[in-house]
Amino acid sequence: MPQTAAIISGIQRMVLYETRARYFLVGSNHAETKHRVLKIDRTEPKDLVIIDDKHVYNQQEVRELLGRLDLGNRTKMGQKGSSGLSRAVLAYGIVGFVRFLEGYYIVLITKRRKMADIGGHSIYKIEDTTMIYIPNDSVRVSHPDEARYVRIFQNVDLSSNFYFSYSYDLSHSLQYNLTLLQRPYEPWSAAAPSAEEEVHAQGKQDSFDIFEDEGLPTQVVYGLRNEPYYKYVWNGKLFERVKDIVHPDWLMYIIHGFCGQSKLLIYGRPVHITLIARRSSKFAGTRFLKRGANCEGDVANEVETEQIVHDASIMSFTAGSYSSYVQVRGSVPLYWSQDISTMMPKPPIRLDQADPYANIAALHFDQMLQRFGSPIIILNLVKKREKRKHEKILSEELYPAVINLNQFLPPDHRIDYIAWDMARYTKSKLCNVLDRLSMIAENVVKRTGFFINRSDFYCHTLRPDDRWRDVGGSVTSTGRLQTGVLRTNCVDCLDRTNTAQFMVGKCALAYQLYALGMIDKPKLQFDTDCVRLFEELYEDHGDTLSLQYGGSQLVHRVKTYRKIAPWTQHSKDIMQTLSRYYSNAFSDADRQDAINLFLQVYQPFDGKPHLWELPTDFYLHQKSTMALQHNRRSYTLWWSEGVLTYLPVPYDEVACEETMKTIKVKRMNQFDESVDIYTEFFKPYEITSFDETFCISKTNSARELMPKTLGVDPSPFTVRKPEETGKSVLGKSSKEETVLQRKTAASAPPPPSEEAISSTSEDDSEEDRDDEGPVSQRSTPIKLLIESGESSRTQEEIQPQQVMKEPYGHNLAECPAEEDLLIYERFAHLGENQHTVEKTERINLANIISLEPVSRFKDDSIYAVSLPQVDRRSHEMFESHVMTGQGQVRALCREDMMMYREYVKNRYM
């Protein structure tokens, strides 16, 4: 059977050329060997007229075409000064086309940055964009409200956490993308070629095939191009107007969320850990303005988080080892909201509509069964015990809804419901929150399993592990599939949810590394380089998602729940709480309008109320409330047709007639540029520098986390002390630290004992810590007395020359020969010439190692501490914050009233 490969986009760079009548967008692949031209008419004031030239140009042909266009658009023949074709902008992709009340705009990506690579497929982050008005000034019909819509649209910062790839489908999981490559495509590849493919075939007559010259058959590859999962695509609506007109290479879908990648070095073997978060574009919005679910089962703040682990020593998807694990967060799938007009930190929760048959929850879990399979496991972290009902209202509605839906599902595929009051456990001194979460995580991972594209190692059969035998999922001939997913929620799905997802991800990471043959047991401990690396990724992931939805970074982190956070963290938590409260009160409404306009939930038209005139956006997101439903879904058979047939395997990953409609298959040559991932990744036609490559710049466990002390175990799975880290405390760069490490290597202290690098995590008991004694006492060498009475001599002083004579064959007490000294001097002289830069650098250790105490207190000793002075305004601000938390809002002053009037004036008048 021929191999399969994803088709690489043939348009990765583009130049926009401008004339008075048209825009010419010339796109090319990265090697600039194939070019396409898109013609955009500028004479239509309100319509978008695009002509896609079906011909694929080479470099010479496109130069001749641009020359003819330049010559034909000059004002006077032969006049070189006034060029008729001017170059407008260089871009790397099209975000889309958008129209408000005048003509259309084109949004182009002008700057990008590489964030990760998976199997040779690069993932980029949008760094900058430009928005260009298409119609010419002579035909432009001005509208007074156009500029305001442009400002609202540009409030969605495209340079903040939007990602794309030319060859990898970011809207789907790794399991889906690799499952596609393993399907048989013979029945679907025999279709007749399209008219466009016939045009391409005519252009290939000049090319040659080395296998045909040798009399060998051409090596055929099935090129795949599949439809994205539009729920996680943020510019799908911006391409609706042109999707059926232009070639698919022009369409570049972007996702919103988070993407981060770090390198874990295991004795020099590189393992890449990638974290990708996809934020849903359905029912998207800000914290208090988007709660619960809409009428189609889409919930607020829904994010799919995928962790990918792969052995980076082999790049290919077919030959390499890849593993992934997916989990989901999202608001409670009910009709509920919070009234923010009261200006309270925690507005009361209210249920907006009665749903006795759990119709909204049924729509939501039907989507999850199609995408993830079964079992669906709900981890509900909201509070159970409250003096006044607040969060408990959601649990009392969600649990009966799950019970109602489960009675119609087969027993093997029912929804699991786990309710755990995480906030109450955190306040208890007798309970360890992370221990409880690790137990839940172990059970969850064993039930859902994880994805890996290789079969089990034989060593797993020789040395079986009890936990490995119980891992669930679907076992295939080529590896394992994850069936089912964990769905975690609290009220906001931010702080508690991120910590719970980290613990589940940490447990899954242990199984992934064990399946890849990197560790001997599927278990990872805190305070190891591996877990620190993973924790940093998850904290960046949590901060990013929290800023997008809540307006501030995380308030409670993993260290908070481990109870090892420094005392300065409390003041940071207060500032994050205030920042979140300010954002929710003043800026969330404007951000919500921008999201509604960007996602085309609201489309302005003449005679229609403006976006800022709407009292609420409820009817924009609840479309079924505006019309009667003719085809009402069954309350008992609440799942889609065909979903139960293939459970526990997800319906979207099954090779059936319905799912194959979204995939286009094309027979191609194996060495075609459109499927050659080697050339795409390594770019042999470019001159590159090692220092500028992405592989060097990404986070590295050996460089940034492993201690720089000689003799320390370099394994990233060794438990270390919290202060033992490779990160610079003194603010020096990693390169300077490396130079300093090389120079001071000879004078480094001896390696510490195993006791000195033992764990000091909170899991250790206090009795064990007391027995160990202080570090200085443990690291002191113990003298062993000789029974013969020579108490003044230690065992280390007995016959040192004999010990050196046996292994090395030389007596160190004797002076070396003159010939040996001459050889050593020549060797040292060569070293001095090679490292003259390091030699000439003078390092003053007094400037690097400062032993002076740094404190904000005037008197800081064991006898007396003078407290820092706090001004009156800070006192009043803190008292006001405490009173607000207790429900006692202070009277508004003149400045507050002026600020509020200014806000109302700008917002509504």
Please give the Cα distance from 378 to 279 (Å, whole number).
19
Which of 88-92, 157-161, 205-209, 264-268 comes out lowest in average pLDDT?
Answer: 205-209
Residue at token pair 């090679």:
834
The contacts of residue 4 (CB under 8 Å, 6+ apart) are 180, 181, 182, 183, 185, 221, 222, 223, 224
Question: Who wins on pLDDT, 213 or 278?
Answer: 278
Phi then psi for residue 118, to 5 deg, are: -125, 110
**CA-wise closest residue to 405 among 444, 380, 372, 375:** 375
Residue 839: pLDDT band by 50, 70, 90 thresholds?
A: very low
Please give the Cα distance from 494 to 490 (Å, whole number).
8
Burial of 155 (0-12, 13-18, 19+ CB in 10 A): middle
Quote the radius of gyration of the chain (alpha carbons, Å): 32
**What strands lie across the sheet with 3-6, from one edge to the other?**
3-6, 220-226, 663-669
Residue 848: pLDDT band by 50, 70, 90 thresholds?
A: low
Say if CB 588 and CB 287 are below 8 A apart: yes
Which of 487-501, 786-800, 894-908 comes out lowest in average pLDDT?
Answer: 786-800
- The mean per-residue pLDDT over the stretch 213-232 comes to 78
The contacts of residue 909 (CB under 8 Å, 6+ apart) are none
> What pLDDT, on a 0 to 100 scale, did the predictor assign at position 823?
81
- The mean per-residue pLDDT over the stretch 106-133 comes to 95
Q: How many residues does the chain have?
A: 909
Q: How far is CA 548 from the centre of its chain?
A: 13
| DSSP character at residue 602 | S
Peptide bond into 648 cis (omega under 30): yes
Q: How far is CA 230 from the centre of its chain?
A: 18
> What pLDDT, on a 0 to 100 scale, did the predictor assign at position 858?
58
Indicate the pairing of strand 3-6 with strand 220-226.
parallel
Provide the H-helix boundaries in 492-627.
495-515, 529-550, 558-562, 568-582, 588-598, 618-621
- The mean per-residue pLDDT over the stretch 522-541 comes to 93
Decide: helix, strand or coil at residue 188: coil
Please give the Cα distance from 445 to 483 (Å, whole number).
10
Provide the H-helix boundaries in 253-391.
359-372
Beta bridge partners of 278: 257, 304
The contacts of residue 828 (CB under 8 Å, 6+ apart) are none
The contacts of residue 790 (CB under 8 Å, 6+ apart) are none
Say if CB 715 and CB 757 are below 8 A apart: no
Mean pLDDT of the chain: 81
Peptide bond into 410 cis (omega under 30): no
Whole-model pTM? 0.77
- The mean per-residue pLDDT over the stretch 352-365 comes to 93
Residue 822: pLDDT band by 50, 70, 90 thresholds?
A: confident
- The mean per-residue pLDDT over the stretch 66-78 comes to 77
Instruction: State both tokens at 533.
Output: 């690396």
Kindly tell me if the per-residue pLDDT of 231 is higher than 50: yes
> What pLDDT, on a 0 to 100 scale, did the predictor assign at position 864?
63
Instruction: State both tokens at 456.
Output: 């089990």
Please give the Cα distance from 286 to 288 (Å, whole number).
6
786 residue type, one letter? I
What are the tens digits of pLDDT across the range 642-698?
999 999 999 999 988 888 888 998 888 888 888 888 888 888 888 887 777 888 888
Kindly tell me if the per-residue pLDDT of 840 is higher than 60: no
What are the tens digits of pLDDT across the range 139-148?
998 999 999 9
Instruction: State both tokens at 23.
Output: 């825009």
Residue 449 backbone class (left: φ over 0; alpha: ψ -120 to 50; beta: rest) = left
What are the tens digits of pLDDT across the range 709-742?
767 888 999 998 776 666 533 333 444 444 333 3
Q: Roughly how many angstroms between the first and final C-alpha of the chain, as a whole number?
A: 67
Residue at token pair 């509020």:
900
Angle between helices 588-598 and 146-153 (to 10 degrees): 100
Say if CB 307 and CB 505 are below 8 A apart: yes
> What pLDDT, on a 0 to 100 scale, did the predictor assign at position 770?
37
Please give the Cα distance from 274 to 445 (Å, whole number).
19
The contacts of residue 17 (CB under 8 Å, 6+ apart) are 23, 24, 25, 26, 66, 69, 85, 86, 87, 88
Angle CA(450)–CA(452)–CA(458) in degrees, nearest 5? 110
Please give the Cα distance from 324 to 119 (Å, whole number).
13
Instruction: State both tokens at 765.
Output: 């008991």
Question: Who wins on pLDDT, 780 or 135?
Answer: 135
- The mean per-residue pLDDT over the stretch 120-124 comes to 94
- The mean per-residue pLDDT over the stretch 581-608 comes to 85
Angle CA(821)–CA(826)–CA(832) in degrees, nearest 5? 125
Please give the Cα distance from 530 to 271 (Å, whole number).
11
**CA-wise closest residue to 739 among 843, 833, 834, 847:** 843
Say if CB 506 and CB 441 are below 8 A apart: yes
Beta bridge partners of 118: 121
**CA-wise closest residue to 339 among 283, 291, 385:** 291
Beta bridge partners of 669: 220
Question: Who wins on pLDDT, 571 or 561?
Answer: 561
> What pLDDT, on a 0 to 100 scale, did the predictor assign at position 550?
85
* C-alpha to C-alpha distances, 485 to 435, 445, 449, 469, 844, nearest whole angstrom: 21, 9, 9, 20, 56
Beta bridge partners of 269: 266
* C-alpha to C-alpha distances, 82 to 24, 71, 85, 568, 662, nearest whole angstrom: 18, 10, 9, 64, 49
Please give the Cα distance from 552 to 581 (Å, whole number).
9
Kindly tell me if the per-residue pLDDT of 456 is higher than 50: yes
CA atoms within 13 A on the CB side of 307: 26
> What pLDDT, on a 0 to 100 scale, did the predictor assign at position 575?
67
Angle CA(252)–CA(258)–CA(259) in degrees, nearest 5? 75
What are the tens digits of pLDDT across the range 306-355?
999 999 988 889 889 999 999 999 999 999 998 877 667 788 899 988 89
- The mean per-residue pLDDT over the stretch 234-262 comes to 95
Please give the Cα distance from 6 to 381 (Å, whole number).
40
Kindly tell me if the per-residue pLDDT of 215 is higher than 50: no
**CA-wise closest residue to 335 among 407, 398, 380, 382:** 398
Kindly tell me if the per-residue pLDDT of 862 is higher than 60: no
Q: How far is CA 90 from the centre of its chain?
A: 27
> What pLDDT, on a 0 to 100 scale, did the predictor assign at position 783?
35
Residue at token pair 């829904």:
302
What are the tens digits of pLDDT across the range 790-805?
444 434 344 444 444 5
Angle CA(104)–CA(105)–CA(111) in degrees, nearest 5? 165
